[in-house]
C-alpha cells in the first residue's frame, strides 16, 4: 500500500450561523464568523489516496488525473463562490471546515479508480486552522430553508 497526496486551493466566502439559533446565540457561538455579509478564506485542500502501485505505470494514480478530477468535481463548484448559497451540495449545511471537508469526501470517494481509495482529506481554512477527515462516519446536518428546498429539489 502506498499513499499519494495532491494539493489544490480555492477562494470562497461564507458566513457561519445556524438559522435555528437566535441572533444572540449565533453571535455567541460564531462571533466574527457570523458577520451577516460573510467573510473570505484562501482554502487549501490536501487529498491523500492509498492503493496498490500499478506495475506498468509505477503509479497509484496519475497525480495529474487526480488534479483534473478534483478541479472538475470540487474546485470548479466552490472557487470564488459563496458557500452558503452558491453550492448545491452544501445547501443548508453550516459551512465550517469540518462540514466542507466531509462533503468533499462524499463527492470524491465515488469517483476514484478501482485500485485506490481515499485515505485522508485535509482542509486548511487558514495557516492556523485545519479540519481533516478519514471517512469515519461523519454526517452532515442540514438546516433552514435552503436545506428544505434542496430536499424537495425546488
Where do contacts with Ni ion occur on this chain (CB under 5 A)? 33
Q: Of 14, 41, 116, 125, which one is the catalytic site residue? A: 125
Using CA atoms, how far apart are residues 74 and 40, in angstroms rounded to an integer?
A: 18
The residue among 33 and 112 lying less far from Ni ion, judged by its C-beta, is 33
**CB 95, min distance to Ni ion, A:** 8
C-alpha cell at 53: 502501485
**33 catalytically annotated:** yes
The residue among 112 and 131 lying less far from Ni ion, judged by its C-beta, is 131
Q: Which residues pair with 104 in a beta bridge?
A: none
**CB 90, min distance to Ni ion, A:** 14
**CB 67, min distance to Ni ion, A:** 25
Contact (Cβ atoms closer than 8 angstroms) between residue 6 and residue 15? no
Using CA atoms, how far apart are residues 104 and 132, in angstroms rounded to an integer?
A: 11
**14 catalytically annotated:** no
**120 catalytically annotated:** no
Tell me, letter by letter, the H, E, C secondary structure of 35-97.
CCCCEEEEEEEEEEEEECCCCCCCCCCCHHHHHHHHHHHHHHHHCCEECCCCCHHHCCCCCCH
The residue among 33 and 85 lying less far from Ni ion, judged by its C-beta, is 33
**CB 35, min distance to Ni ion, A:** 9
Q: Of 80, 109, 117, 145, which one is the catalytic site residue? A: 80
The residue among 42 and 106 lying less far from Ni ion, judged by its C-beta, is 42
Catalytic residues: 33, 80, 125
Amino acid at each position: 500500500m502506498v499513499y499519494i497526496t495532491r494539493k489544490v486551493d480555492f477562494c470562497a466566502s461564507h458566513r457561519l450561523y445556524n438559522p435555528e439559533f437566535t441572533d444572540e446565540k449565533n453571535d455567541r457561538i460564531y462571533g466574527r464568523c457570523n458577520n451577516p455579509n460573510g467573510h473570505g478564506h484562501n482554502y487549501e485542500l490536501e487529498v491523500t489516496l492509498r492503493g496498490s502501485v500499478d506495475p506498468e505505470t509505477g503509479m497509484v494514480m496519475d497525480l495529474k488525473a487526480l488534479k483534473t478530477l478534483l478541479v472538475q468535481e470540487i474546485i470548479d463548484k466552490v472557487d470564488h463562490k459563496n458557500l452558503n448559497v452558491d453550492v448545491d451540495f452544501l445547501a443548508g449545511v453550516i459551512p465550517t471546515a469540518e462540514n466542507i471537508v466531509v462533503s468533499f469526501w462524499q463527492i470524491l470517494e465515488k469517483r476514484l479508480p478501482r485500485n485506490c481509495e481515499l485515505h485522508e482529506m485535509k482542509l486548511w481554512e487558514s495557516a492556523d486552522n485545519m479540519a481533516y477527515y478519514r471517512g469515519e462516519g461523519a454526517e452532515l446536518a442540514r438546516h433552514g430553508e435552503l436545506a428544505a428546498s434542496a430536499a424537495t429539489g425546488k
